Amino acid sequence: MAGLWAMIKQSTLVHLCFAISYFTSGLVINTVQCILYFGLKPFNKRLYRKIGYYLCYSFYSQLVFLADWWSGSTLYVYISDEDLKYCGKEHVLLLMNHTYEIDWLVGWVFCEKVGVLGNCKAYAKKVIQYIPTIGWAWKFAEFVFLERSFDKDKEIIGRQIKEIMDYPDPVWLLLNAEGTRFTEKKHEASVKFARDRGMVELKHHLIPRTKGFTASLPNLRGRSSVLDIQLGIAKDSPVKPTIFNILNGKPITAHMHVRRIPTESLPEAEEAAAEWVQELFRQKDRMQESFHTHGDFFTGSDVPRKHAIKMQPRLHTLVNMVAWNVVTVIPMMYALAQSLLDGQYMYFSIGSSTLLACNFSTLFYQLILL
């Protein structure tokens, strides 16, 4: 029975059903977002954002379902009781290591558990907003899209954060200070950069870029907190942390350390704030070294030990996934079957080929892009 279930999880047909549901539901959600953007937002921005939360939750939680229910992955969170009280209760800027292909998904799993998944936002490349479904959803959800020109970006950051701070419900905004995902080649370049400038070299991270943080901080101070998140996955894990393994139903075990830092406690001067980020990543590097050496974030670092909390899957993501598959996959499969039974082989071939090529490739493209 276990072998049969494993075969089902690795079935291309099942993956195609997920892709159909994800892509089609995304287009439906985009359509509703567009109507509300032009028809509701100019008159009632608060209600627009309330509804937008649930639309984004319905879209993002399909991917959380894959981690929680489909693959049975496990997330252990290390956070103090005091910091946990604030989770989901305030606006937050997230500073997280960008080490793994699925670190964004693990982050979404945690966000879903504390009730902020629909209001998760990030600093992203401007080009992403033009990508169907995920990019359009982010555009309507008021993500911070950057031009990669600091003079322009500084103005965009200030304007967008002011909008985000006006949200009626807590917003979690992700800043990837490293700029890109960790790879050996990028790490070599990062080490060279540090040596040339007399900076402390990092073993498990890239040297952080501080301008995004220092441009954001004045607009965040006193109105939000910073969450320092460190994600670790064992190097000798039998299942590598990839989207492909998640989709094939293979469980991954992740460990996440979370620390809340009030923005009022951060340096006010830009240069001092930039140095604070550098020092933060040096501490994160010690934590990651401890994790890979001792199996925890604490033994080899100066971080106080915390007990692990095992995150439990919630029924919300399961019900949402089932509902979207019923609404999207069944009608499409019925239409294809009907065309086949009616002898309309050309329509059947065109429809099935389009679904296979478009939906399957689009899902993978969007997941890897994140």
* Between 5 and 110, the higher pLDDT residue: 110
Nearest-angstrom CA–CA distance, 176 and 178 = 5
pLDDT digits 0-9 by tens, 202-218: 999 999 999 999 999 99
User: Contact at 8 Å (CB) between 124 and 143?
Assistant: yes
Closest CA to 190 of 10, 351, 199, 258: 199
* Mean pLDDT for the chain overall: 89
In the predicted structure, residue 367 carries a pLDDT above the cut 60: no
User: What amino acid occupies position 176?
Assistant: N
pLDDT in tens, 33-42: 999 999 999 9
pLDDT at 328: 87
pLDDT level of residue 222 (50, 70, 90 thresholds): confident
| Residue whose entry in the numeric block shows the structure tokens 């990651």 | 288
Model pTM? 0.91
pLDDT of 340:
60
When divided into structural domains, the chain yields a total of 1
| Residue labelled with tokens 């139903």 | 249
Residue type, 170: P
What is the per-residue pLDDT across 132-147, written as a single tens digit (0 to 9) for each?
Answer: 899 999 999 999 999 8
What are 228's strand-pairing partners? 95, 259
pLDDT digits (tens, 9 = 90+) for 279-300: 999 999 999 999 999 999 999 9
Give the structural domain span for 188.
Answer: 4-369
Evaluate if residue 354 carries a pLDDT over 80. no
Quote the tokens at residue 78.
């290390």
Separation CA 237–CA 111 (nearest Å): 24
Q: Provide the pLDDT confidence category of residue 346 given band limits of 50, 70 and 90.
A: low
Cα 167 from Cα 90, distance rounded (Å): 10
Of these ranges, 109-118, 128-137, 155-164, 336-345, the one predicted with the greatest mean pLDDT is: 109-118
Mean pLDDT of 232-260: 94
How far is 140 from 35, CA to CA, in rounded Å? 10
Written as one string, the DSSP assignment of 88-103 is TTS-EEEEE---STTH
